Amino acid sequence: MATHYDCVIVGSGPGGYETAIRASQLGMDTAIVEKDKLGGVCLNVGCIPTKALLKSAEVMSEANHLDQFGLELDGSVSANFPSVIERSRGAANQMNQGVQFLMKKNDIDVLRGHGRLTAADTVEIEPSVNMDGDEVGEARTVTAEHIILATGARPNELPFLPIDGEHVVSYYNAMLQREQPDSLVIVGAGAIGVEFGYFYHHMGTDVTIIEVEDRIVPNEDKDVSRELAKSYKKAGITLMTGANVQGVDTDAEPLRVEVETDGGTEHIECDQVLSAVGVVGNVEDIGLETVGVETDGNDIVVDDYYRTNVDGVYAIGDVTGAPWLAHKASHEGILCVEKIAGHDVRPIDQRDIPACTYCQPQIASVGHTEEEAKAEGYDVKVGKFPFKANGKAAALGHQEGFVKTIYDDKYGEFLGCHMIGHNATELIAEVVASRKLETTGFEIMESMHPHPTLSEAVMEATRDAYGQPINI
């Protein structure tokens, strides 16, 4: 392998490996450094395996309501928890192999081991231990004209809620453990918290979700938060909002979680606690201090084109801060290398980054919430269309939720869209493209949506915003 490259990427998550591919396509001699498994957190212990777990939970939920589809089951369906986990590992391994193929296809050198900057143009690599406990890589030093840091993030850990991997676990532990807890307290009701809440509940675990804010999924539109809360309560998941976890007595059996609420102090007993309180960037031990790269807490500071304050050093993805999303990292990396190559690129509009939560009902959103749009001074047109009025949703037997659209009254700008319902995450791309193309509400209404589809709900919500509803 070479010792000098045009571009070296440290970290092979979706941001890292897609950046490497695009750099190679642009004619750059490219290498990628990975201390664990190709694909990073997302492919191996994040996006992909969690979606496999959630699919198992969804099938279990369907199996328990077969009568709604006119079907009868002679016997019962139960979860084989170790097999469910094993299936998710299979999905992760398949994608990992896919990334290995893509590296070879695009002539990208894969340098195994832990990478650390020793100069603005130099990465020192030393052997590391991967998630399987295997030592990988060898000591070497490489140089590059451009070094892109894509080191990702790890679970955040609160001082009063230390993660030990047994009593108090992170999402990493929760998706790999082969022994299912009978009862689980989840601290944090963002995407990670509600997704694991959905999974463990449908596996048969007694689930309580605790959120310090006054509603679950607090970053979403308030109407969406209320709808998901209604669905979870109906399913039998216990929700506590406006509640502060003070600590966990891990010596007690069962565990005792101390929670401060408006009504005073409560103690909740459980077999395990899942800490789902966000992530922090991996800025440690990658040589930032050595070369003088500026950071803000656990985030690397970058400009609109992902350049750090050190010439030749760039950073993308989770290590640069929120939102911590795989598709954001990939988009940033491609933009970064295209800028390096001299292409005319435009900075990302943060409002155009879609967010998805994969429990059922699913959540998908992009742009302003209604509250944000009004706060910024927009006169808004708001429309809402319930899936209970959608023919495809009726046929699927999943009529929970709605699509909510927000338009600027003056110019018709598509300010935002927020949806909750079955497979909502597959519908949001239309809105992302519409916003990118500066589409107005009139153009959405004039765009023929096929029938019967769930996508009609976007058009119908738009018609409602403009006072022209058809099916409600």
Alpha carbon distance 458, 121 (integer Å)? 49
**Residue ranges with strand state E in 168-276:** 168-169, 183-187, 206-211, 238-241, 244-249, 255-261, 264-270, 272-275
Torsion angle, CA of 324/325/330/333, rounded to 10 degrees?
-20
Q: Could you give the angle at the alpha carbon of 458 between the alpha carbons of 452 and 459, nearest 5°?
A: 75
Say if CB 171 and CB 192 are below 8 A apart. Answer: yes
Neighbours of 81 (CB within 10 A): 18
C-alpha closest to that of 149 among 113, 127, 116: 116
Say if CB 12 and CB 326 are below 8 A apart. Answer: no
Is 267 labeled as catalytic in the residue annotation? no
Catalytic residue selected from 4, 65, 343, 451: 451
How do 264-270 and 295-296 pair as beta strands? unpaired
Q: How far is CA 81 from CA 65, 184, 199, in A?
A: 20, 15, 11
Say if CB 319 and CB 283 are below 8 A apart. Answer: yes
Q: What is 138-182 written as a DSSP string?
A: --EEEEEEEEEE---EEE---TTS---SSSEE-HHHHHH-SS--S
Residue with tokens 């491609």: 334
Alpha carbon distance 352, 335 (integer Å)? 15
Q: Give the up-direction half-sphere exposure of residue 270: CA atoms within 13 A in the CB hemisphere.
A: 27
Q: How far is CA 160 from CA 207, 262, 268, 353, in A?
A: 21, 20, 16, 33
Alpha carbon distance 65, 72 (integer Å)? 9
Neighbours of 260 (CB within 10 A): 14
Which sequence positions are flagged as catalytic?
A: 451
